[in-house]
A and B are shown apart, each in its own frame.
Chain A
């Protein structure tokens, strides 16, 4: 599920930052308690926000799948990550009681909530109507 290739992590719109870590390209945007509102409001395309944490096994399984989805839907969808350990305010605000939880925002409003890790195809099916 891992992929590499320096030419693939670009052009996700002005909000996305391609960031190389340990040879992998991280195409997901990192959001925090302080940047969330501004970034979500400014986003031109739908944003799929993944609430996760380092200690969550299913979150780790999901991460490379979200990276793939982000890379393959560049220009149509931004994938963002919120570490709940560091951003408890956002976790509380969106009433996260279980991770991974993904919330899809469109025009700044939450549209869809997906709880639990899922396969790529299942995720795409749920997200597709909002793209």
Chain B
């Protein structure tokens, strides 16, 4: 059993860690339950742990490696007294105060109860997978969720990237450092990605596009050999021989654990009051991608993380006085 914290922050991407910096500087001694190490985007440090070059975070003239930026944020919050717990919250009860959160002890695995007067939810979003049976079987055998981790192993080979947004093109451009060719498979004829990324991708001689197509199966028994594709307009089936497949088809918010506790929209994103980070439960705040399907940027996550810490601080002042 633990004492009751002023603030517990759940999640440790740019939103969670910025909230931690602000809350720590306000002497709230925040505990950050930072998540469980994994090789997906749902891990301590969040999605940026899988990002190679960040070029649009203000204050850095040169591009920054995602893991470095996140390590810096973590150390920065530490410097002001934020504490970390490397585990994942498995259950919460926000129906009464203090709020209660349960998470396994990182070493023993035994469930531990944590209590807080205020909670900041910053659990972010994770990458969607294709959902094909072959995908799971071939994960880390050619199917990858992390271009920055695994691109290296596909030097001189043919690679496919599935998706048409910024993350897909970022991965495709990054993978041209290694691959002989990088084929972007997109289910529509137009990309969702930003203009600058599109220009870069179209200009890159190693990148080619397969439009209007979806992956119906991944071939290979113990290593990826290629993709079975179907053109959704013509119905035509084709085969693309590749040894690496990188999936970047979108995100889902990490909100399963808050179901029934916090208001969500139809896609599972947390709903906050306009111009604030307040959720429907007074004293629980949400920041970053977990409540944002529109902007989804490191800097907007950091911005709402800051808002959440200030909102929590003011709420604590108001309720304790």
- The residues of B that contact A98 with a CB separation of less than 8 Å are 39, 139-141, 144, 146, 149-150, 153
Q: Does the CB pair B67–A97 fall under 8 Å?
A: no
- The residues of B that contact A119 with a CB separation of less than 8 Å are 36-37, 86-88, 104, 106
Q: When the two chains form the complex, which single residue of B107, B140, B148 contacts A55, counting CB atoms closer than 8 Å?
A: B148
The yes or no answer to B11 lying at the interface (CB within 8 A) is: no
The yes or no answer to B38 lying at the interface (CB within 8 A) is: yes
Complex Cα distance, B178 from A97, in Å, reads 13
Total interface residues on B, using CB and 8 Å?
42
Q: Does the CB pair A61–B49 fall under 8 Å?
A: yes
- The residues of B that contact A55 with a CB separation of less than 8 Å are 52, 65, 148-149, 152
In chain B, positions 52-102 with a C-beta closer than 8 Å to chain A are: 52, 65-67, 70-71, 84, 86-88
Scan A31-61; emit 1 where CB is below 8 A from any B CB, else 0.
Answer: 0000000000000000000000101111111
Interface of B is mostly: loop
How many interface residues does chain A have, given as a range? 20 to 34
Complex Cα distance, B43 from A57, in Å, reads 10
Complex Cα distance, B106 from A125, in Å, reads 12
Complex Cα distance, B146 from A121, in Å, reads 23
Complex Cα distance, B105 from A10, in Å, reads 26
Q: Does the CB pair A58–B140 fall under 8 Å?
A: no
The yes or no answer to A30 lying at the interface (CB within 8 A) is: no
Q: Does the CB pair A56–B44 fall under 8 Å?
A: no
The yes or no answer to B274 lying at the interface (CB within 8 A) is: no
Complex Cα distance, B37 from A61, in Å, reads 6
The yes or no answer to A99 lying at the interface (CB within 8 A) is: yes
- The residues of A that contact B67 with a CB separation of less than 8 Å are 56-57, 60
Known: A84-B152, A97-B140, A117-B43. A58 touches B108 (CB 8 A): no
Known: A1-B86, A97-B140, A98-B144. A61 touches B150 (CB 8 A): no
Q: When the two chains form the complex, which single residue of A101, A121, A125 contacts B140, counting CB atoms closer than 8 Å?
A: A101
Smallest CB–CB gap between A122 and chain B, Å?
8
Complex Cα distance, B71 from A59, in Å, reads 13
Smallest CB–CB gap between B143 and chain A, Å?
9
B39, B86, B106, B153 pick with most chain A CB within 10 angstroms: B39
Smallest CB–CB gap between A34 and chain B, Å?
21
Q: When the two chains form the complex, which single residue of B50, B86, B154, B223 contacts A57, counting CB atoms closer than 8 Å?
A: B50
- The residues of A that contact B39 with a CB separation of less than 8 Å are 58, 98, 100, 115-117
The yes or no answer to B109 lying at the interface (CB within 8 A) is: yes
Q: Does the CB pair B153–A97 fall under 8 Å?
A: yes
The yes or no answer to B124 lying at the interface (CB within 8 A) is: no
Q: Does the CB pair B140–A57 fall under 8 Å?
A: no
6 contacts between A and B (CB under 8 A): A53-B152, A97-B153, A98-B153, A100-B149, A119-B37, A125-B109
In addition to A56-B149, A116-B40, 8 A-B residue pairs with Cβ atoms within 8 Å of each other are A57-B49, A96-B153, A97-B144, A100-B149, A101-B140, A118-B38, A119-B37, A124-B107
